[in-house]
């Protein structure tokens, strides 16, 4: 009888450990699969100055609530999300091509919303990508 009880305790401990690993792991960001045509997309606004501050205005309106004012991943809505937010000031984000950032920012996936309808202008989208570049450390 005692032996059976011990076995049962062991089994539930293991189950608990597995559940713990599973739930903690589920919040980590998985690698994105960015289609090749996006990855190499040319930024038509590369090096263009944004006199009207369109990029910043779009960031503040649509992105800041989750990603934070400076892209640190500390927006007011960040805590409600299951997915970890990356820090936009780091190489992890800044080393990506404009096309990769464009795909993630405009097409999105899961908790990262799609912005094709909310930001319909192609030119504005690229000014927003340029703004993301200014968040670099």
Interface ranges with ligand HEC (CB under 6 A): 29, 62-63, 65-67, 77, 81, 83, 85-86, 93, 101, 104-105, 109-113, 115, 128
Q: Tell me the β-bridge partners of 109.
A: 112
Smallest separation (angstroms) from ligand HEC to the CB of 64: 8
Q: What minimum distance in Å lies between the beta carbon of 18 and ligand HEC?
A: 24
Helices (H) and strands (E) in the chain, counts: 7, 0
| Residue closer to ligand HEC (CB basis): 31 or 37 | 31
Shortest CB 6 distance to ligand HEC, Å: 42
- Least distance CB 93 / ligand HEC (angstroms): 5
Report the candidate in 136, 108, 137, 126 with the shortest Cα–Cα distance to residue 58: 126
Please say which residue, 6 or 42, places its beta carbon nearer to ligand HEC. 42
Q: Which is nearer to ligand HEC, 13 or 92 (CB)?
A: 92
CA distance 13 to 74: 35
Q: Max Cα separation, the chain?
A: 79
Distance in angstroms (rounded) separating the CA atoms of residues 135 and 137? 6
């Amino acid at each position: 009888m005692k032996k059976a009880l011990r076995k049962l305790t062991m089994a539930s401990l293991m189950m608990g450990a597995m559940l713990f690993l599973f739930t903690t792991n589920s919040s980590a960001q998985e690698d994105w699969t960015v289609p090749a045509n996006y990855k190499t997309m040319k930024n038509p606004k590369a090096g263009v100055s944004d006199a009207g501050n369109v990029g910043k205005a779009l960031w503040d309106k649509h992105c800041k609530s989750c990603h934070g004012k400076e892209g640190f991943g500390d927006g007011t809505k960040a805590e409600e999300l299951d997915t970890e937010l990356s820090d936009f000031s780091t190489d992890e984000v800044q080393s990506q091509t404009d096309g990769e950032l464009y795909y993630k920012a405009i097409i999105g996936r899961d908790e990262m919303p799609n912005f094709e309808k909310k930001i319909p202008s192609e030119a504005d989208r690229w000014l927003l990508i340029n703004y993301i570049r200014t968040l670099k450390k």
